[in-house]
Structures are given as C-alpha cells and as structure tokens.
Amino acid sequence: MDMDPSEIEALVQQTAHEFANRVIAPQASDLDATERFPSDVLRGLSEIGLMSINVPHEYGGADAGAVAFALAVEQIARACASCAVMMSVTNMVGETIARFGTDGQKSRHLPKLASGEHVLGSFALSEPDAGSDPAGLRTMATRDGGDWILDGAKQWITGGGHAGVLLVWARTAPTAAGAKGLSCFLVEGSTPGLKVGRAEDKMGIRASNTVALQFDACRVSGDALLGDLNGGFRIAMAALDGGRIGIAAQALGIAGAALDESIAWAKTRSAFGVPIGEHQAIGGKISDMRTQIDAARLLMARAAFLKRAGQPYTREASMAKLFASEAAIRVCNEAVQIHGGYGYMREFAAERHLRDARVTTIYEGTSEIQRSVIARTLLL
Ligand SMILES: Cc1cc2nc3c(=O)[nH]c(=O)nc-3n(C[C@H](O)[C@H](O)[C@H](O)COP(=O)(O)OP(=O)(O)OC[C@H]3O[C@@H](n4cnc5c(N)ncnc54)[C@H](O)[C@@H]3O)c2cc1C
C-alpha cells in the first residue's frame, strides 16, 4: 500500500505542527494545571481549518480526508492532548453530519462547525449505566406531534458544556429492541431542557471539558433525526471507526512528545560521569519507545489510508487504537522513569503525558472492546 501523504496532507500536517508549537505548546502546562477551557486555541484551530477536516468545501470544511485528519491530530496532541481530543471529537461530529445528514441538516450545522460559531461538536452516546454496551442505553425519545421529546442522562461527554451541536443517541423503540431501537438526534447546545453538569475533575486531559448531560423534556423538531429512525447504532459505529483513528493519533502524539523529551533529558542529565543515555539500560528504553511509536504509526497510517481509499477499515482502526493507546502508556511510563525524580514533578511534562495517555485505552471503546471488535472480524 502506498502510504505517502499527498501534498495537501503534508500541508495540513505542517500547518498543525506550526500552530501547535507557536500557540498551544507554550500554554499546555498551564491549561493542565488550571483546567482552563482553551477557547483561544479552539478558535485558532477553526481559523486554520482543523475543526472540519473531513467536511466538504461547500460547507466551509477543509475536505482534506482521513490521512490529513490523523496527521493533524497527532501534531496537536504532541502539544496538548486536551485540545487534541476536543478537536478530534468535533471533526468526528462534522464528518458524521456530512455523511448521514440531509441537505438541510448539513447547511444548518456544518458551516457553523467549520467557522467556529459552534465552538465544538459533541458525541453523546455513553450513559451512567451504558458505556461499553451502548445498546443498553436508556435515554428515550418519544414523538409529540411532529417533534421529539428527549428524556435521560448522558455521562462524560467531551466538550458537552461548549458544544453548538451534539449528536445524541436515544431509544426510539422498546428496550427489547436493543441496538435496533436506537436513533441519533442533532441537538443544539442551547435547546431548552438540555442541562449541563459540572466539569469532571479528571486524572488527565484536564483542559478538555467533560460533563454529564441531563435531558428533561428536551424538545427537538422532527428534522433533528439524523439518518434512519432506529438506525442510530450503525451511525454510532461508523463514527467510532473514524474516531478511533483520531484517538490512535492522539496517543501517538502524546507518546512522541514524551520520547522527544526523554531523548533530550538522556543527553543532558549525567550520572556516574556520563550522560544517562550512555547507560545501556536507558538506551534500551529509548529504543523500545521509538520502536513502539513507529509500529503504532504504521498501524494508524494503514487504517487512515484504507479509509481514504474508501475500503473497509473497522478492524484496522481498532488495531491502531488498541496498540497506539497501550504503547502510549508504556512509553509515557518509561519517560517518567528516564527523568528520575524530575519525572514525578509537575514542573516537567513527563508526568502530564502519562496522565493524559491513560485515558486513551478507555474512551471511544476500551482496549477490551477493541480486542472483541478485532476478534469478531477474525472468528465470525
Ligand atoms: C475523559 C472521558 C471522556 C469521554 N468522552 C466521551 C464522549 O465524548 N462521548 C461518549 O459517548 N462517551 C465518552 N466517554 C465514555 C467512554 O467512552 C466510556 O467510559 C467507555 O466506553 C467505557 O465505558 P464505561 O466507562 O461505562 O465502562 P464499562 O462499560 O462499565 O466497562 C468497565 C470495564 O469492563 C470492561 N468490559 C465491559 N464490557 C466488556 C466485554 N464485553 N468484554 C470485556 N471487557 C468488558 C471494560 O473494558 C472496562 O475495563 C468518555 C470517557 C472519559 C473517561
């Protein structure tokens, strides 16, 4: 498979790299420490087209494809994993509307997502009692004349407190119908009856807004239904396939930053009269870190290039997400070790990278769920 980025993809990567270094990196540590919502960063990402990478030009998007998306998320995550996940989810929301929406839905939401008028898009699937198993979700959507009334609760929704538009999954058929009874709705953040909970206090990605949502008789019009009635599960799975490439890219970016800092430290920190990198044990760690990062990069690239080519990529996206996220945790853990006591201090980025990497094996499907997705394609 040819896996060379096109000129456009390389340009998107370079644009993201430059923005990450100039605007995001200098404030990343402060964003983590203060949990400040990075409005300026998100506005800037919209201005350079990175919040709607897979949205068609006619709706204001960059229309640059899956490979450009992965390369851009990785660059942003190298500087700030919190910014990267909000960017990744917003892109996933825009792409899902572009793929499944009517002309009216696309015209209504996509230009706002692309321009930053919708600061973020959110993906509201998980609930307090349904994470890995969304077929068990309980939020209900009931008909009222031509409208729909949503009632229920969502949990840990990225960007949910700042989203202009949310994809919300609700049950439109009896519980017994499981995954077959779910539909997806486009809900604007300002809709009466949608209440946003307090921002969660998290181990990592602390500047990423993560909230619970409550829907109390939240009325949306009939044309808020995205795709087919009771066809929401397929939309969620399709969105997550692409999203998992984004989380693989996020993990890769975090791990890449941890490796670069470890190499720099290993060259300058001395013990026993030589730079610690000259001790074989440290050199071995750095070699293993780089090998795992390169392996993760190849898996991520394969999934993204398959997607770009319009070929099936569900298994490959799960493999990329599974390996990159688990590798990122190992790499970041070693980065702390290489930094010694300094690695345990807030003053150094190594401990932030480890905290940020930890969530990547949990959201958009845990590692256990990725393994069952992969196994299903091999065994059934
Ligand atoms: C910071 C953060 C942001 C998030 N953002 C979003 C968001 O924007 N939108 C959204 O919808 N959700 C979001 N989530 C929710 C996330 O997707 C879920 O936490 C995740 O899918 C796991 O669900 P759960 O937490 O309910 O765990 P559970 O499903 O309760 O799983 C608990 C454990 O059991 C394991 N397990 C469950 N089922 C199986 C099985 N069949 N086989 C083997 N092991 C199994 C899991 O792997 C896990 O280890 C976010 C979560 C976090 C932490």
- Assess whether 364 carries a catalytic annotation: yes
pTM of the predicted structure, to 2 decimals = 0.98
Query: What is the pLDDT, as a whole number, of residue 5?
Result: 94
Q: What would the two tokens of residue 255 be?
A: 């791990």
The shares of helix, strand and coil residues in the chain, as percent rounded to the nearest 5, are 60, 15, 25
Query: What is the pLDDT, as a whole number, of residue 175?
Result: 77
CA of 318 to the centre of ligand 1 (A): 15
Minimal CA–CA distance to 1: which of 303, 302, 310? 302
CB of 305 shorter than 6 A to ligand 1: no
Q: What would the two tokens of residue 22 be?
A: 């100039």
Tally of helices (H runs) and strands (E runs) in the chain: 11, 10
Question: How many of the other CB atoms lie within 10 Å of CB of 346?
Answer: 10
CA of 217 to the centre of ligand 1 (A): 26
**Separation in Å, CA 121 to CA 3, 45, 82, 101, 329:** 30, 13, 15, 15, 27
Q: Among 154, 240, 329, 362, say which to mutate for ligand 1: greatest number of ligand atoms within 8 Å of CB.
A: 362
CB of 157 shorter than 6 A to ligand 1: yes
Cα 141 from chain centre: 26
**Which atom of ligand 1 sits closest to the CA of residue 200?**
1
CA of 328 to the centre of ligand 1 (A): 18
Q: What would the two tokens of residue 356 be?
A: 């940020």
CB of 125 shorter than 6 A to ligand 1: yes
* Alpha-carbon gap, residue 19 to 11, rounded angstroms: 12
Task: Name the residue at shortest CA distance from atom 23 of ligand 1.
Answer: 131
The residue from 74, 334, 351, 364 that is catalytic is 364
CA of 123 to the centre of ligand 1 (A): 14
CB of 362 shorter than 6 A to ligand 1: yes
Task: Name the residue at shortest CA distance from atom 44 of ligand 1.
Answer: 368
Q: Among 168, 360, 363, say which to mutate for ligand 1: greatest number of ligand atoms within 8 Å of CB.
A: 363
Q: Among 126, 157, 167, 326, say which to mutate for ligand 1: greatest number of ligand atoms within 8 Å of CB.
A: 126
**Which atom of ligand 1 sits closest to the CA of residue 125?**
11
CB of 156 shorter than 6 A to ligand 1: yes
CB of 212 shorter than 6 A to ligand 1: no
Q: Could you identify the residue written with the tokens 């998007």?
A: 61
* Alpha-carbon gap, residue 88 to 83, rounded angstroms: 9
CB of 359 shorter than 6 A to ligand 1: yes
Cα 7 from chain centre: 25
DSSP string, 115-172: HTSS-EEEEE--BTTBSS-GGG---EEEEETTEEEEEEEEEEEETTTTEEEEEEEEE-
First to last CA, the chain: 26
CB of 124 shorter than 6 A to ligand 1: yes
Per-residue pLDDT of the chain (380 residues; tens, 9 = 90+): 788 999 999 999 999 999 999 999 999 999 999 999 999 999 999 999 999 999 999 999 999 999 999 999 999 999 999 999 999 999 999 999 999 999 999 999 999 999 999 999 999 999 999 999 999 999 999 999 999 999 999 999 999 999 999 999 999 998 778 999 999 999 999 999 999 999 999 999 999 999 999 999 999 999 999 999 999 999 999 999 999 999 999 999 999 999 999 999 999 999 999 999 999 999 999 999 999 999 999 999 999 999 999 999 999 999 999 999 999 999 999 999 999 999 999 999 999 999 999 999 999 999 999 999 999 999 98
CA angle at residue 233 from 231 to 238, to 5 degrees?
Answer: 105
CA of 241 to the centre of ligand 1 (A): 15
CB of 314 shorter than 6 A to ligand 1: no
Instruction: Assess contact for 46 and 118: CB atoms under 8 A.
Output: no
